[in-house]
Structure 1
Amino acid sequence: MGFKETRGLFIATWIAGAGLAGCGPTLEPEPGDEATGAGQQALTEGAPLTTHDASCLRLQDQGTWSTYASYMTGVGPALGLPAILQDLNRAGPVLTATTHPPAVGYKGGFRWNDGDMATTEWIPQALTAGVSGSSNVAIASWHYAPTTAPEKGVRISVADISDMSLSAVNYRHLLLVLPTGSGNFTVVPEHGGGLAWYGNYLYMADTSDGLRVFDLTQIRQVSTSTTCETAIGKVGAEWCAYGYKYVLPQVSAYVVPSTITSPCRPKFSFLGKDTRGTTPVVLSGEYCNNTGTSCPYDGSTPGLGGRLYRWPVDSTTYRLQTVSGVVAPERAYIMNEPNVQGVAPIMTTTATTSYWLSSTRYSGALFKVSTSASRTAYLSGSGQWARMPEGMHATGSGTNLWTVTEGYNGTTDPAAGGRVVFFVDQASVD
């Protein structure tokens, strides 16, 4: 896709020749790591981050940037995010002293409207945030839960969080789509477990293969007719997206070549955004536990081998930095934590060796982790954090830490585990 066959063969051969002997704990810490011999530590829950050798891993740019954008021209004019912010059609009540979940340093938040709080078809997963014009914007992903056809893939919620003193936050759902040919598209059949927003690009975790990229300047309006409520793509003279008014198309992807296999080949469960250091990065991490969801590298302790990768971003184009279409991770760690669902950088330090991890361990936890110290834990069972937290976003100013929850045990009460988006004071959990 986007590569000539001979070039793709060269890259695949070069990657295979790099060897798969790495991807284990490295015996020497990388320059700048705070802990001497961090890579020698065993996989112990709550232990410091372990430096990881990721020299075997690469991502390959699919190179469909212009092709996929051209496929969408027949659907209608391209719309940017500012146009969507003028057409938000749902209201999520702002949380109050009696409706917000317990969380150390709590500052504010909102819940979804009644229908979105109660639906069993869609489940919140990831969160990222940024600025569009004069508006502060949060973007959350939802994965489609039913196992019966049709598959609807992933939707995102665009929410205007500019003024959290109002009574409600306005938002709208958009359906993510994959262009399939000139003037046509289909759903994106993924979990939507991670998001990271850079420039006009929205990165999404592709669990098995890498990162998908969506262009926020390429949003298209489609039909909301009765016919379109049960259809996707071009139907007669209409373009449909299961009743959604807007679609956000994929423009390219960064994938792990098929020549890279386990244990080098990771899962892409969640994403984060880190602007510390000289180069901004997309963070990607693996969810694993000690029962049904293991990770490719778990050492001798199942559930603790989830890895965290740093993928460098070009600060001009906001695409990943590539050499001959190939991206190498800047650095990698083993998290020594189970059930990790999200990551955010600790913005009160310029060191890139410390993070917050969002986990559904203990029904909900926030872990502060680094290469130099055992974790600090904020647990839902102790009234320190919300239940079932997922994706996170740390504001670059070092002020707020945002998170989204997927909902606990079907409750619609936001204070007792219902679906919420909220933020806390970064300094309170640092």
Structure 2
Amino acid sequence: MKHRGRHRRRRRGAALRGVLAGTALALTAAATLISASQAQVAENPGALKPLTSPADTGPLRLQEHLVPAPTLDRLAAGMGRPVGVDAVLRSADRTLRGAAHCSSDERASLPVAPAPARGYCWDRADGPGEGWRPASVTTSGDADDDGVWGTHRVVLAGWTHPAGTGRPAGRSLARVAFVDADDPAHLAYRWVLLVVPARGGRDYRPLASGISGMVWYENKLLVTARTGSADALYVYDLDRVQRTTVDGPAIGRVPGGWSADGYRYVLPAVGSYRFASGRCAASGPPCPGALSLDRGTAPDSLVAAEWTEPGGDRHTRLWRYAFSTDPARAGLLATNAAGRVDAVEAYRTRATGVRGVLSYRKAGADHPSWYVGRLPGSRDGRGGMWRQDTAGADAARCGPDSSHRCWARDAGSLSYWQETGEVWSLSDRMLFALPLADLDRSLG
């Protein structure tokens, strides 16, 4: 069903660019200097090394598994008619505060160089003491090239709650903030819990995995899956948001209806992708980490980075998969007749601890640049932002000692909004945006 407003005029994008230009953040002094203890120079990750041999590209192959239609239909029949993104946004019950209303500690988590054009801290009810951690972001700029979904501009932010941190034993959770971004000065959001159908659609269970990467393309949301499952990616349909009917701590079917740990909405998975050669391992398939969308390829592609420990011995692989051009497979990856998905491009970088990845080709360039946001080896503060290609790497520098540790604290994923030319990302405390042109200038 076509409902994303592809033919809307583009004046709203120009207006937003004006807002970005006129609202650059004045960061506090604490966020403009890096202390001597944080000033160690990060190792240059060097040039990207292309991976072309079957031994290198074979472990990246995926196998598609779609949830049977009768399972999804049975769940919808039991829970009631699914709703879409608009219904979730209309019920937004929390607000993001502009940077001027955030604490100095929250603002100190933002990048030093380049400085964000604007930033937001989360509702106080979602503070760090709750055990939840933000890590991934995608927008309606990924979903559709006009940047609008239906009548709204939307940001989706993925959060993870590890097991054993205030949750019942053995239960980790993943949720997504649906953010109404129509007015850049007043952002509101509502939580949706990610779940997986169970018992043939008669029940559902929580997605027990960290969602360090997330991409919204067409009507599908693809998220990483790293723990408790053989799956590499889970797939969600944004037209299949379901309402719960019982406000309780249980997750799934309960006496009297459907519960989701107090959340009003759940989003059931409609499919997944598994590595064809088994679970991620040091000598085999990579553990998926960061994700992003690249609209500069033909067809559009899903960009991925391997999850590696900061400062470890295992260097990160970067690769991409093509999206399907079949209208009947909107938002799904391109597969062969056997449901296999092959990487169409792959590299190895000497970088470790990559938590954000973006691929973008400038006008006139022969090849795209790869932007990687990295955690520091000691995991005690700011990370670095590097731009790499097969010729070398450049980093932003800041502070009196020209440190490379200038990016966000506990850096999150990256998402490029093509219509406005801005990059969205997260720190451990804030959601922020900055023009890609500013990022390039800082790396120049």
TM-score for the superposition, normalised by structure 1: 0.78
Query: In the TM superposition, what is the alpha-carbon distance from 1:157 to its structure 2 partner?
Result: 0.7
d(CA) in 2 for partners of 1:55 and 1:383?
32
Q: What residue is the counterpart of 1:319 in the other structure? A: 332
What SS does the aligned partner of 1:72 have? Answer: helix
What are the equivalent positions in structure 2 for 1:275-286 lying under 5 Å apart? 275-286=295-306
Contact 1:276 1:351 in 2 (8 A): no
Q: What residue is the counterpart of 1:415 in the other structure? A: none
Q: What residue is the counterpart of 2:352 in the other structure? A: 338
Moved more, 208-217 or 345-354: 345-354
Q: What residue is the counterpart of 1:196 in the other structure? A: 215
What SS does the aligned partner of 1:193 have? Answer: coil
Aligned match of 1:270 in 282, 290, 293? 290
Q: What residue is the counterpart of 1:392 in the other structure? A: 414
Q: What residue is the counterpart of 1:123 in the other structure? A: 133
Is 1:234 matched with 2:253? Answer: yes
Is 1:87 matched with 2:91? Answer: yes
What are the equivalent positions in structure 2 for 1:23-422 lying under 5 Å apart? 45-53=44-52, 54-57=56-59, 58-64=61-67, 66-73=69-76, 74-96=78-100, 100=107, 101=110, 102-130=112-140, 131-147=148-164, 148-149=168-169, 151-164=171-184, 166=185, 168-180=186-198, 181-207=200-226, 209-225=231-247, 228=248, 230-258=249-277, 262=281, 263-289=283-309, 302-303=313-314, 305-315=315-325, 316=327, 317-324=330-337, 325-346=339-360, 348-349=362-363, 352-361=367-376, 363-378=382-397, 384-397=406-419, 399-406=421-428, 419-422=429-432
Give the number of the structure whose residues are more often helix, by fraction: 2
d(CA) in 1 for partners of 2:298 and 2:404?
38
Query: In the TM superposition, what is the alpha-carbon distance from 1:86 to its structure 2 partner?
Result: 0.9
Q: Once the two structures are superposed, what CA deviation does each residue of 1:216-272 show, in whole Å capped at 9, x if it has no partner?
A: 1000000243xx2x1011101210000000001100001112458752311111211
Moved more, 236-245 or 89-98: 89-98
Q: Once the two structures are superposed, what CA deviation does each residue of 1:184-211 show, in whole Å capped at 9, x if it has no partner?
A: 1010110111101101100001125311
Query: In the TM superposition, what is the alpha-carbon distance from 1:378 to its structure 2 partner?
Result: 4.8
d(CA) in 2 for partners of 1:252 and 1:335?
30
Contact 2:322 2:333 in 1 (8 A): yes
Equivalent residues, number: 360
Query: In the TM superposition, what is the alpha-carbon distance from 1:135 to its structure 2 partner?
Result: 1.5
Name the CA shift for 1:375/1:115 in 2 (closer, same or farther; >3 Å).
same
Name the CA shift for 1:358/1:169 in 2 (closer, same or farther; >3 Å).
same
CA RMSD of aligned residues (A): 2.4
Query: In the TM superposition, what is the alpha-carbon distance from 1:132 to its structure 2 partner?
Result: 1.6
What SS does the aligned partner of 1:322 have? Answer: coil
TM-score for the superposition, normalised by structure 2: 0.76
Contact 1:60 1:255 in 2 (8 A): yes
What SS does the aligned partner of 1:55 have? Answer: helix
Counterpart of 1:321, as a letter, is A
Contact 2:44 2:393 in 1 (8 A): no
d(CA) in 1 for partners of 2:261 and 2:221?
22
Contact 1:365 1:387 in 2 (8 A): no
Query: In the TM superposition, what is the alpha-carbon distance from 1:275 to its structure 2 partner?
Result: 1.0
> Share of identical aligned residues, percent?
24
What SS does the aligned partner of 1:56 have? Answer: helix
Q: What residue is the counterpart of 1:412 in the other structure? A: none
Q: 5+ residue gaps in structure 1?
A: 1-43, 295-301, 407-418
Q: 5+ residue gaps in structure 2?
A: 1-42, 141-147
What SS does the aligned partner of 2:388 have? Answer: strand
Query: In the TM superposition, what is the alpha-carbon distance from 1:352 to its structure 2 partner?
Result: 4.9
Q: What residue is the counterpart of 2:37 in the other structure? A: none
Contact 1:45 1:338 in 2 (8 A): no
Contact 1:366 1:379 in 2 (8 A): no
Contact 1:201 1:215 in 2 (8 A): yes
